[in-house]
Amino acid sequence: QVQLQQSGTELVKPASSVKISCKASGYTFTSNYIHWIRQQPGDGLEWIGWIYPGNGDTKYYQKFDGKTTLTTDKSSSTAYMQLSSLTSEDSAVYFCARGMGIFGFAYWGQGTLVTVSS
């Protein structure tokens, strides 16, 4: 069965960077887009961008461009999202998700809580 297993909670300092992971299993990793979604505390959902593991193509919501870098490691079927120049605004739960095709996020990771605090 398709599973997306995300890395654990991160407590990081302002101005630093963090890299969170999303390990995929149960399907051919290179065949489906991986999307990333943010949920700030007590708030709604916000789409960040996608990466296509087959060729590394990426697309970012302009708001997150420069803040976010999406990569994959095909050898371990893992997608990564790096967030840089962290501020308290970046404190959130970050989800990875896989679509049925490109969209239709049928499969989600459990979420990774990132807390930015000195």
Partner 1 sequence: DVVLTQTPVSLSVTLGDQASISCRSSQSLEYSDGYTYLEWYLQKPGQSPQLLIYEVSNRFSGVPDRFIGSGSGTDFTLKISRVEPEDLGVYYCFQVTHDPFTFGSGTKLEIK
Q: Which residues bind partner 1 (CB under 8 A)?
A: 37, 44-47, 59, 61-63, 95, 97, 100, 102-106, 108-111
Separation CA 69–CA 80 (nearest Å) = 8
**Smallest distance, partner 1 to C-beta of residue 76, A:** 22
Largest CA distance in the chain: 41
**Smallest distance, partner 1 to C-beta of residue 95, A:** 6
**Smallest distance, partner 1 to C-beta of residue 30, A:** 21
SS3 63: helix
Q: Tokens 């390990």: give the residue.
A: 23
